[in-house]
Structure 1
Amino acid sequence: MAEPRVPGGRGATLDLPCGESVKTHAFDMGMREYDCHCGDSHAVVLDVHPPSRFVPEFLVDVLRETVDTADDHGEFGTVHIMGVVMEEFPEEVASKDVAEDPDLGYAMVWVTDFDSRRLHEVVVELIVELMEHAVSHADDEDAMSRFEADMLNFDVSEFVEQYRRERDFTGPHDRPA
């Protein structure tokens, strides 16, 4: 019997930035990377993944306190992080709203043209830019000078390497994924 192609349903497909198409059921909540038929690995992010996948929870708390979200997604989280990534790299990110498919366990999926490590670096770079923008609006020249000095010593690649090596995804702030 043919499967109905209901938007967001079992027949839903996602057209990846590389040109391949994949059924959304190929992605599960534990997946962080998809080995594509094109030969590349693509980062996979789901709305249920905690933002602490990318940065420490204390920084997530700071972002939640300072970033005003004017949407239905509530406090600053993974949906907002991926929105910023999509804004910066619109051709390199494919997304799909699959909220209508109760079998999946997630409502949004994003797949990038780059692998999970490169996505991690991109997210950290964009969060640093967001923080710099916030500090620049503080009307505190000393704070801005300190932030700029600290950023001169901040190596995104080294941070990502260390964070990915040391991150404990079983901590109290993580949800099952």
Structure 2
Amino acid sequence: MAQPGVPGGPSEQLDLPCGETIHTHDLDLGVREFECDCGDRHAVVMDLHPLGRFVPEFLVDVLRQTIETDDEFEEFTTAHMMGMVTEEFPDQLVSADSSEDGQVGYALVWVSDFGARRLHEIVVELVIELMEHAVSHADDDSALSEFEGYMNDFDVDEFVEEYREEREFESEHDSAV
């Protein structure tokens, strides 16, 4: 049985980038963001949160079909996306592996130094970079040119605003559009 203060136990602590500390057991499965004692809001992502939280399902399907994973996951997941965010912002994101703790309901959790909306923008920007990288390897200059043309007209802030309006983010039962 897990003991308080022992990793995986009921008092697993997560030291946030802002300097505050939270307990993983305080993170409800439905939480997407919380107001911290530091005064800021921090985004929360759990491995069981769908990628559709950030981008439309058709794009999730494309990502899963085209990206081969080389780990224990069979397909591209939220964990992979959060790994990309962690690479870009290593000092602004912390994570905990709670896979041995059957009391929390998730295996992995990430908490960012920024709010949920900013995290959403970052994820969309990273997906665009990933798509641009893939198109650049197609050896088709016209496809790359066409993609870059679309991206010149694409407004990340506007997309995130509209996407968040279309989704129900006020409860743990948000659904894909």
Return the alpha-carbon distance in structure 2 between the equivalents of residues 47 and 170 of structure 1: 16
* Equivalent residue runs for 1:82-97 within 5 Å: 82-97=82-97
Residue number in structure 1 paired with 2:23: 23
| Identity, % of aligned positions | 61
2:175 to 147, 150, 170: 170
Asked if the contact 1:17–1:94 (Cα under 8 Å) also holds between the matched residues in 2, the reply is yes
Residue number in structure 2 paired with 1:103: 103
Return the alpha-carbon distance in structure 2 between the equivalents of residues 67 and 134 of structure 1: 10
Asked if the contact 1:43–1:116 (Cα under 8 Å) also holds between the matched residues in 2, the reply is yes
Residue number in structure 2 paired with 1:78: 78
Asked if the contact 1:63–1:76 (Cα under 8 Å) also holds between the matched residues in 2, the reply is yes
Shift of residue 34 of structure 1? Answer: 1.5
Residue number in structure 2 paired with 1:144: 144
RMSD: 1.2
The letter for the 2-side match of 1:82 is M
The letter for the 1-side match of 2:175 is T
Shift of residue 45 of structure 1? Answer: 0.3
Residue number in structure 2 paired with 1:36: 36
Q: Which runs of 5+ in 1 are unaligned?
A: none
Return the alpha-carbon distance in structure 2 between the equivalents of residues 6 and 145 of structure 1: 54
Return the alpha-carbon distance in structure 2 between the equivalents of residues 8 and 34 of structure 1: 22
Q: Which runs of 5+ in 2 are unaligned?
A: 169-173
Return the alpha-carbon distance in structure 1 between the equivalents of residues 150 and 69 of structure 2: 27
Q: Does 1:51 align with 2:51?
A: yes
Aligned length: 170
Q: Structure 2-normalised TM-score?
A: 0.93
Residue number in structure 2 paired with 1:135: 135
Q: Structure 1-normalised TM-score?
A: 0.93
Residue number in structure 1 paired with 2:171: none
Return the alpha-carbon distance in structure 2 between the equivalents of residues 110 and 116 of structure 1: 12
Shift of residue 141 of structure 1? Answer: 1.1
